[in-house]
């Protein structure tokens, strides 16, 4: 009783304080990415009425996210990222459907009333803060949306032609063109806002200052950051006063790393490592572990701070992992990489439910047909989050300590980050008579626990841990028992032990089996990993 009362008091304190979270505070968070329209329905809505192929609204709102946060917090996440909140195009349906995704901006300064009211958005923000979680909002400043190359400017915030770059299609080999020309095509154009214009710069700055303050936003995800002049960002993010993570859709570290730092953004989404994870773990695939270890080495050399990058396996622009890779152990190993290596883990809603659509629009499935089930991937996510939250809060500097590769072979790799040693493999589910030997920093006979299986391992002579795969290619994460005291995992007590709230039950009749892992495993399709066009929605 007393405990609950104290919690109420601290919750009240949290609600009234402005969090304005910094990069350093975000480093220890983990983020659940939501397409607002697709996360949850209001009570009584038809649970079978949403087909991603239709590219139209399915009915999710800020309120339905707020009402279903237990599922996200139950998986241990400490932040959510939601779709852009700004007013979108409301004209006739286009050849690419409707603006259900929120990226087709009309006027950034107005809210998108499809997703709710100002009070609804504030209530979501308050509820997240009451739970000790952060709110990240997606923002689009590079462009607005239109249906011709000579749009009527009257629905936009900027209504003067001089506030836009003149239409030109992007020449991807020309850096100026990438910044000044228009994303989209001539059917759905994304008129490029002139972010070099001083009036535009100051209008955007005062808008973002107000938005962050009004809705108590803790961080921004910045759409198409690569398509805006770099010197725009420090001023814009300075006005926001919160952590900024940009979309820089580029897997070249030389290019991508320019977008992080005092003259750019706090962080970017980690497309270089995403591509490397596909190369290393996807089945079928190149199974190239060196592709990953090379990228790690380059990242540590070239990024200002690789421990702030946003690690992901899926998002609204790339195929679901299960569309690229049919073996669930490939998913689990790649997931563990994102939680135990350098960077902030981000999970795109539905990955934990084995969704397997490919590119836009098939990778924006509604979540509700899954029944928000307690799947193996959901449980793994919960375990990884709980363990990482302990490392962040219960040990010093874990998140900012850079990883170190300890070993690599054709079948996998071992690496260390602080006092945690992780061993990953790409052999997949069937047992295989191979081992990975890792020389840990620990003395012989040290008693350790592998925190995913909760099995005990004693460190061998010369500090070795031998990982065998007689039970298949599972991921493994080791920590000495002495340091696990108070972690709350694998039976170790913990003062901060997190009690999982019940999973929300909102099951669509008969739909859950469609999404089962069996279907994913069964569909052994040889998939070519194509080049995904950079689209603005
Ligand atoms: C690069 O693109 C810009 C903007 O469209 C254009 O003005 C310039 O001529 C292009 N440069 C080259 C070398 O094509
Ligand atoms: C694996 O990746 C490395 C590093 O990117 C590259 O040099 C090598 O050619 C790749 N090997 C194969 C077989 O693709
Ligand atoms: C990939 O996605 C496409 C479109 O959603 C689907 O037709 C195909 O079956 C998927 N492949 C796998 C392996 O799930
Ligand atoms: C760490 O502790 C702080 C203060 O108690 C809390 O606000 C935060 O949510 C915790 N972070 C994680 C990742 O658990
Ligand atoms: C596994 O491989 C080792 C070394 O290659 C070999 O000695 C052993 O007999 C193999 N075990 C099985 C069960 O195949
Ligand atoms: C002992 O460990 C080191 C790495 O820490 C390794 O280089 C060396 O080969 C190992 N020695 C033996 C005998 O295994
Ligand atoms: C774990 O921590 C508790 C409380 O600090 C202590 O009493 C106990 O001896 C510790 N156990 C181990 C195995 O270190
Ligand atoms: C999910 O299942 C696991 C394993 O049975 C269980 O420990 C956990 O409490 C369940 N979580 C929820 C939220 O039901």
Tokens (6 digits) for 421: 């040693």
**Residue closest to 492 by CA, chosen among 456, 525, 440:** 456
> Of all protein residues, whose CA lies closest to atom 13 belonging to ligand 7?
482
Tally of residues, the chain:
537
Give, as one character, the DSSP assignment of residue 190. E
CB hemisphere CA count around 432 (13 angstroms):
14
Does an H or E element contain 214, and which?
helix 198-215
How many angstroms separate the alpha carbon of residue 437 from the centre of ligand 6?
10
CB hemisphere CA count around 53 (13 angstroms):
2
Using CB atoms within 10 A of its CB, is residue 290 exposed (0-12), middle (13-18) or buried (19+)? middle
Q: How many CB atoms lie within 10 A of CB 498?
A: 15
The beta-carbon contacts of 274-281 under 8 Å, at least 24 apart in sequence, are 274/311, 274/312, 274/313, 274/318, 275/251, 276/251, 277/313, 277/334, 277/337, 277/338, 278/324, 278/325, 278/529, 280/334, 280/426, 281/325, 281/330, 281/333, 281/334, 281/337, 281/424, 281/426
% the chain with pLDDT above 90: 87
% the chain with pLDDT above 70: 88
What are 172-206's pLDDT values in tens digits? 999 999 999 999 999 999 999 999 999 999 999 99
Alpha-carbon distance of 103 to 315, in angstroms, equals 14
Alpha-carbon distance of 536 to 322, in angstroms, equals 24
394 pLDDT band (50/70/90 cuts)? confident
How many angstroms separate the alpha carbon of residue 162 from the centre of ligand 1?
19
List all residues whose CB is within 6 A of at least one atom of ligand 4: 28-29, 78, 132, 389, 392-393
Asked if 27 and 92 touch (Cβ cutoff 8 Å), the reply is: no
Helix (H, G, I), strand (E, B) or coil at 362: coil
Give the per-residue pLDDT at 395. 80
Asked if 381 and 352 touch (Cβ cutoff 8 Å), the reply is: yes
Asked if 442 and 459 touch (Cβ cutoff 8 Å), the reply is: yes
Is the pLDDT confidence value at 219 over 60? yes
Helix/strand/coil (H, E, C) string of 301-352?
HHCCCHHHCEECCCECCECCHHHHCCCHHHHHHHHHHHHHCCCEEEEECCHH
Sign of CA dihedral 205, 210, 216, 221: negative
Q: N- to C-terminal Cα distance for the chain?
A: 48
Is the pLDDT confidence value at 404 over 80? yes
Asked if 243 and 266 touch (Cβ cutoff 8 Å), the reply is: yes
Nearest atom, ligand 6, residue 462 CA = 1
Is the pLDDT confidence value at 51 over 90? yes
7 pLDDT band (50/70/90 cuts)? very low
Q: What would the mean pLDDT of 471-475 be, rounded to a whole number? A: 97
Nearest atom, ligand 8, residue 503 CA = 13
Q: Is 525 in the pocket of ligand 3 (CB under 6 A)?
A: yes
Nearest atom, ligand 6, residue 461 CA = 14
List all residues whose CB is within 6 A of at least one atom of ligand 8: 74, 374, 379, 500, 503
Q: Which residue numbers are catalytic?
A: 223, 247
Does an H or E element contain 498, and which?
none
Does an H or E element contain 95, and which?
none
- 465 or 534: which leads in pLDDT: 465
**Prior bond to 361 cis, omega within 30?**
yes
Q: Is 293 in the pocket of ligand 2 (CB under 6 A)?
A: no
CB hemisphere CA count around 243 (13 angstroms):
27
Asked if 349 and 35 touch (Cβ cutoff 8 Å), the reply is: yes
Give the per-residue pLDDT at 19. 60
Task: Set out the domains of the chain in order of their start, with CATH numbers.
Answer: 270-313+332-344+370-537 (2.60.40.1180)
Q: Furthest-apart CA pair in the chain: how many Å? A: 73
Alpha-carbon distance of 165 to 194, in angstroms, equals 5
522 pLDDT band (50/70/90 cuts)? very low
Is the pLDDT confidence value at 125 over 80? yes
Work out the mean pLDDT of the chain and round it to a whole number.
90
Asked if 275 and 318 touch (Cβ cutoff 8 Å), the reply is: no
10 pLDDT band (50/70/90 cuts)? very low
Q: Is 447 in the pocket of ligand 7 (CB under 6 A)?
A: no
Alpha-carbon distance of 274 to 295, in angstroms, equals 10
Give the per-residue pLDDT at 517. 27
Alpha-carbon distance of 92 to 433, in angstroms, equals 60
515 pLDDT band (50/70/90 cuts)? very low
Is the pLDDT confidence value at 501 over 60? no
């Amino acid at each position: 009783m007393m405990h609950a009362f104290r919690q109420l008091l601290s919750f009240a304190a949290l609600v009234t304080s402005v969090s304005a979270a910094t990069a350093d505070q975000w480093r220890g968070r983990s983020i659940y990415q939501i397409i607002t329209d697709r996360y949850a329905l209001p009570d009584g809505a038809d649970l079978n009425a949403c087909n991603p192929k239709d590219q139209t609204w399915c009915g999710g709102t800020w309120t339905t996210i707020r009402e279903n946060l237990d599922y996200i917090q139950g998986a241990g996440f400490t932040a959510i990222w939601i779709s852009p909140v700004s007013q979108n195009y409301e004209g006739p349906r286009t050849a690419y459907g409707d603006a259900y995704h929120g990226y087709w901006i009309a006027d950034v300064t107005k809210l998108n009333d499809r997703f709710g009211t100002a009070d609804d958005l504030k209530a979501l923000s308050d509820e997240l803060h009451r739970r000790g979680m952060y709110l990240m909002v997606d923002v689009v400043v590079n462009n607005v949306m239109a249906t011709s190359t000579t749009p009527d400017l009257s629905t936009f915030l900027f209504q003067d032609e001089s506030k836009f770059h003149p239409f030109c299609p992007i020449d991807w080999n020309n850096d100026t063109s990438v910044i000044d020309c228009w994303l989209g095509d001539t059917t759905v154009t994304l008129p490029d806002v002139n972010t070099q214009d001083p009036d535009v710069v100051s209008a955007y700055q005062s808008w973002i200052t107000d938005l962050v303050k009004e809705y108590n936003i803790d961080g921004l995800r910045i759409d198409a950051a690569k398509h805006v002049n770099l010197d725009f960002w420090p001023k814009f993010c300075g006005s926001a006063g919160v952590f900024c993570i940009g979309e820089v859709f580029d897997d070249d570290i030389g290019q991508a790393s320019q977008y992080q730092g005092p003259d750019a953004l706090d962080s970017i989404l980690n497309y270089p490592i995403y591509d490397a994870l596909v190369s290393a773990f996807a089945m079928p695939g190149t199974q190239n572990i060196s592709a990953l270890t090379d990228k790690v080495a380059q990242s540590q050399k070239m990024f200002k701070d690789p421990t702030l990058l946003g690690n992901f396996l899926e998002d609204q622009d790339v195929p679901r992992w299960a569309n690229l890779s049919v073996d669930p152990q490939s998913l689990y190993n790649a997931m563990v990489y994102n939680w135990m290596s350098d960077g902030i883990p981000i999970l795109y809603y539905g990955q934990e439910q084995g969704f397997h659509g490919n590119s836009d629009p098939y990778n924006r499935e509604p979540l509700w047909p899954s029944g928000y089930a307690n799947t193996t991937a959901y449980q793994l996510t919960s375990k990884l989050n709980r363990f990482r939250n302990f490392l962040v809060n219960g040990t010093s500097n874990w998140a900012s300590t850079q990883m170190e590769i300890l070993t690599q072979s054709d079948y996998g790799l071992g690496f260390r980050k602080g006092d945690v040693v992780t061993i990953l493999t790409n052999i997949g589910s069937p047992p295989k008579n191979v081992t990975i030997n890792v020389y840990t920093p620990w003395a012989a006979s040290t008693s350790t626990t592998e925190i995913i299986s909760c099995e005990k391992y004693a460190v061998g002579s010369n500090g070795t841990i031998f990982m065998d795969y007689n039970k298949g290619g599972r991921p493994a994460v080791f920590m000495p028992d002495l340091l696990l005291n108070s972690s709350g995992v694998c039976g170790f007590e913990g003062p901060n032990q997190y009690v999982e709230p019940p999973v929300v039950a909102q099951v669509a009749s008969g739909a859950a089996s469609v999404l089962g892992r069996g279907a994913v495993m069964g569909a052994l399709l040889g998939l070519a990993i194509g080049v995904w066009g950079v689209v603005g929605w």
